[in-house]
């Protein structure tokens, strides 16, 4: 499956209201794809999606400093299902 077909399938997986919100608020294709993927990953409602867009999650993503990778253990490290 080529990349365009995959992206089209992702768009179809979220409700039309979510798509309308993303189309009306986001002009950058990469940013729109980010919000589509995050909506799918986190099962966001339209209100949560709107809040994340308003709070500029895309611009803030990756800028936060955490030590999660250093301090949290891999939940599947001991063969435990997640």
What is the per-residue pLDDT across 20-45, written as a single tens digit (0 to 9) for each? 999 999 999 999 999 999 999 999 99
pLDDT(46) > 70? yes
pLDDT at 47 over 90: yes
Domain boundaries, the chain: 3-57
Q: What is the pLDDT of residue 8?
A: 80
Q: How confident is the model at residue 68 (pLDDT cuts 50, 70, 90)?
A: low
What integer pLDDT is reported at residue 9 of this predicted model? Answer: 87
Q: What is the C-alpha to C-alpha distance for residues 55 and 61, in angstroms, rounded to an integer? A: 11
Decide if 15 contacts 24 (C-beta within 8 A).
Answer: no
Is the pLDDT higher at 8 or at 35? 35
Which residues, at least 6 apart from 6, have a Cβ–Cβ distance to it below 8 Å? none
Length reported for the chain: 82
The DSSP secondary-structure symbol of 12 reads H
- Round to whole Å and give the CA distance between 7 and 50: 21
């Amino acid at each position: 499956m080529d990349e365009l077909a995959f992206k089209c399938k992702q768009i179809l997986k979220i409700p039309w209201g979510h798509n309308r919100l993303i189309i009306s608020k986001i002009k950058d294709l990469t940013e729109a794809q980010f919000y589509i993927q995050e909506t799918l990953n986190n099962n966001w409602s339209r209100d949560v999606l709107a809040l994340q867009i308003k709070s500029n999650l895309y611009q803030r993503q990756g800028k936060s400093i955490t030590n999660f990778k250093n301090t949290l253990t891999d939940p599947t490290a001991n063969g435990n299902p997640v």
